[in-house]
Structures are given as C-alpha cells and as structure tokens.
A and B are shown apart, each in its own frame.
Chain A
Amino acid sequence: MSIKNEYNNYVISGIQRYKAIKNLIKQGIECEGINDKDEQIRLSSHGSNHKRIIKTCKKLGCEVEYTDNSSSCKSYRVGILKSHAGLVMGLVLSAVLCFIFSRMILKIDIENDNEQVRADILSVLDENGLHIGSLKSDFDFVKLERELKGKVQGISWAGISVQGSTIVIDTIDNIPKPKTDNKRLPCNVIALHDCIIDKAEVFCGDLNVRIGSGVRAGDILISGERKKLIKSGKDDKETEVTQYMRASGRVYGTFEKTAEFFFPYEEEINTKTGKTIDLSYLNIFDADIPLFLKDIEGNYTYKADRKPLVIFGYELPIALIEVEYSEYVEAINTYTDEEIDKKIAESTKSYEESFLKDFEIKDMKKTVKKEENGVLLTLRYTLYGEIGEQADIYLNKQ
C-alpha cells in the first residue's frame, strides 16, 4: 500500500501496545483518536510519521495494521451526519418547505384602503380559486386582472404582480363624477301608477289631465312644456315658441295594488342542541393552521375571536383564533292552521307598515287559497295618495 501524505489509521495489537504508545508520545509523534478496544489500540496519524510508528511498534513486537483514511473519512462524515440526524432532517425539511412555499401564494397584498373594494377583490379571487395556499402556476394573472376590472366596482384599473410568495394587487380608484344639480332642469310630473285622479294642486306648469279621469303609469300629469305664439317683426308675424319650465305640484289619485304571500305548511328550522366545542387556530398571514387533530362532524354555527400577537404596540401578522362551535340539528316544523292564520296577520300588518304607510287604505280584499304545500295569500288594496313624480325633460340639441 502506498502511503499518502495524509492521515492514516493504525491498529496496534500486542501485549506491549501501551509501551508503544508511550514511546510514540516520547518521540513527539502526534496521534489522534487513541482508543483501546478489544485489546487493540486504534489511532490515526499523519503519513509523515508512518515509518517511525511502524519502527517503534515492530521494535516492541507489536502488530500494526494501517489503512488509508479516505475510506474512513467517508464513514467519519456519515457518522457525523448520523450523530446530527435532527439537524440534517431539519435542513432537508426546511429545503423541502422552501421549495414548496416558493411555489405557493402565502400572502395577498391589496393596495387599496376601501374595505368594500378589498372584500370584492378577495371575493373575485376566491371565485377563480385563488386563495392562500394556491399554487402560483395555476393562474393566468392577465385574465384575473381583466376580471377584477370588470367585476369589482369602485376601481378603474387593477394590476397583479408576484413578489415571491406574495401577490400584490395594485388598483386605481374610480374618479367620482361631479354631482349634477338638476333642480334647474325642466321637468314634467308623471303618474307612478294606473289610477283615477281625485285631486290636483299645481304649483308650476300646466295640468294635463282632468279630475275624475283615468291615467296610466308614465302619463304626464303636469306638463313642463308650454307652446306659445309670439308676434315679432314689422309685419307681426306669429311664430310658435316652446317654453320649458320645472313643473311641480301634488296630484292625488285612487289606485289598486296587489301583494302575494305564500306560507308553507312545513318549514326546515335549525335547533341548537346546546353542545359547544372550543377550538383554536394559528393564524399566520391569511392562513389558518388548526391546532387540533380531531375531526368535527355535524352542523355547527361558529363565533370566532381573533387575538393578534402585539410586540411594542406593533401588531404582528400572527394571531391565535379561538372559535366556539355551537351544534345545531335541522328539524322540520309543521304549522297548524292557527299558526298560519297568525303568520298571515303578522305579514299583512308588516307589509302595510313597511310599504303602504304613505297611502290611505280605502279598501282591502284578502283571498286565502289553500294549496298542496301551503297557503297562498293575496291582498288587493285600494289606495289613495299622491301618485305624481317629477321626471326630467331631455331636450334634443339643435
């Protein structure tokens, strides 16, 4: 075996092996890893000491075996790796996680202060399957930008850029249109319902209808357009001139309005069982990592409480979310005739208070029709009240 000018391993065996070591020390030969095992001393030393080690051992009648260190170097390195298995596994795991996370979307940064716009953008992204944890390669961001511009109200432009694992959505808000004051524009007063005119109070304009006559919805009640013949010139030639004004007035009429309600005999309702489960999630950026292993089965409503981590007044994007799940069961509730009558009365009262409070109810016809699945209620009201509304006149440019 050729001796390289590097470290070699030696195995010294024999009764005088410790004496050989003593002599090696006395000669000042540097040895490493001296260890006695199975009556054999193992050590390693530099190749330059090879001859002296062999000579000393042979002189004392000891047997010496030596090996090149290159093979043992490998086993030594493997040994180091084995003794630091946790570190190696951690490095491998972190490399794998880095590789996976570099391909995922971990944060969505929206450059807009309006909460509604932010919510709309997230909603559109979610519709397209983009959320925290999605793979970046699955999306065509140009297409998403177009979709955001089309679907999100309040923005005129949207741009998406990818910065590592963060999606940055930059937006430009709509420039608000200046409010136009249309109080000076000419207008008519038109009818809102098909009705019979009972009374009219005209403040400005010409009344177009007669009291007691019937009108259809959209008919002009008070006109803001007046045509006049004006004499002008030396020969007093009459010319027709149209004068526009802002018509105003109150026109009262009697009209009919119909409403229909359906009350099913059976209705599905959620009843709470009283069972609650408290669970926690670790919220990092927008990702919720469950801090539990059990599966939740059944139907639950939930109430979440987010506790962010705050250091020196600065809120970190890490939070603990405590969620209280309340179990409920879906049950079918069957209504009796008395209960349906009560619901009919409540609905009628609620409808009149909500939608008919501005009108005087002259008459009301109630029709209750029993069907296979429930009861159909038809309310036919005869109402009296103001039925005119101002509608602007748009003039053609001449």
Chain B
Amino acid sequence: MNNSIRKKLRDMAFINAYISIVDDKSVVIENVSNINECNDILASIEASGYLIKVWGSSLSLSSYENNIIEVNGSISAIELEKLSRIKGK
C-alpha cells in the first residue's frame, strides 16, 4: 500500500527517472542527481533512486538545465539498478 502511494506521489511530482531512448545514438535521462562515471564505453548516472548504466562506444554527456543529461555516442545497452540494493538499504 505504501509503495503504491509513494509511486503515485512520485508520478505526480514528476521526480521519476524518465529515460528516453531516441535511437542508438542518443539517450535522454531526466532528474539526474549524480554522474558516477563517464568514459568512452560506460556512462554511469544516478537518477531518481536508480543507477543507470549506458554501455556503448565513443560516449559523451551533455548536461542541460533541470538536471537533464543526454548520452551521445554509439549506444549498445542500458542497465538499470535500484540504488537501495547497491547500498544495502
């Protein structure tokens, strides 16, 4: 029950990690809180309680206002992990 209320509240507040995969050259992630790593093959981004790993080649990031990040390059895979699991919460 608590979970569903939390989910609804997050939806209403627009604080979810909205991930838009435009094509294999561009992915847009909203509500980014931190960039953990960004090299040629991996961009590791924290957004709204998730760790989003974008794999590919020749990767680079562009940051915009309102905590929006665009990952550019040749994208091959996107991984999602809940941050609470990683931190053991």
Contacts and interface: CB of A to CB of B under 8 A. Distances in A.
Interface of B: 32-40, 59-67, 69
A41 B38 contact: yes
Nearest to A38: B39
A36 B39 contact: yes
Interface string A29-64: 111111111000100000000000000000000000
Interface stretch (A17-25, A104-112, A240-248, A333-341): A17-25
A28 B66 contact: yes
A179 to B, nearest CB: 80
Given A25-B69, A28-B66, A34 B34 contact: no
B37 A33 contact: no
18 contacts: A18-B35, A18-B36, A18-B37, A21-B35, A21-B38, A28-B65, A29-B63, A31-B63, A34-B35, A34-B38, A34-B60, A34-B61, A34-B62, A35-B60, A35-B61, A36-B39, A37-B40, A41-B38
A237 interface: no
Contacts of B59: 35
Given A21-B63, A31-B63, A34-B38, 20 more contacts: A18-B34, A21-B38, A22-B33, A22-B34, A25-B32, A25-B35, A28-B65, A28-B67, A29-B63, A30-B62, A30-B63, A30-B65, A32-B63, A33-B62, A34-B63, A35-B38, A35-B59, A35-B60, A35-B61, A36-B38
Contacts of B35: 18, 21-22, 25, 34
Nearest to A18: B35
Nearest to B33: A22
Contacts of A26: 67
A41 B61 CA distance: 11
Contacts of A36: 37-39
Nearest to A29: B63
Interface string A142-185: 00000000000000000000000000000000000000000000
A227 B37 CA distance: 130
A25 B38 CA distance: 14
Q: Which of B38, B63, B64, B65 has the most CB of A within 10 A?
A: B63
B60 A33 contact: yes
Nearest to B36: A18
Q: Which 5 A-B pairs have the closest CB atoms?
A: A34-B61, A28-B65, A35-B60, A32-B62, A31-B63
A9 to B, nearest CB: 12
A326 B33 CA distance: 80
Nearest to A19: B34
Contacts of B40: 35, 37
A35 B69 CA distance: 13
Q: Which of B34, B61, B66, B69 has the most CB of A within 10 A?
A: B61
A33 B58 CA distance: 10
Contacts of A33: 60-62
A21 B32 CA distance: 12
A93 to B, nearest CB: 28
Contacts of B60: 32-35
Q: Which of B37, B65, B66 has the most CB of A within 10 A?
A: B65
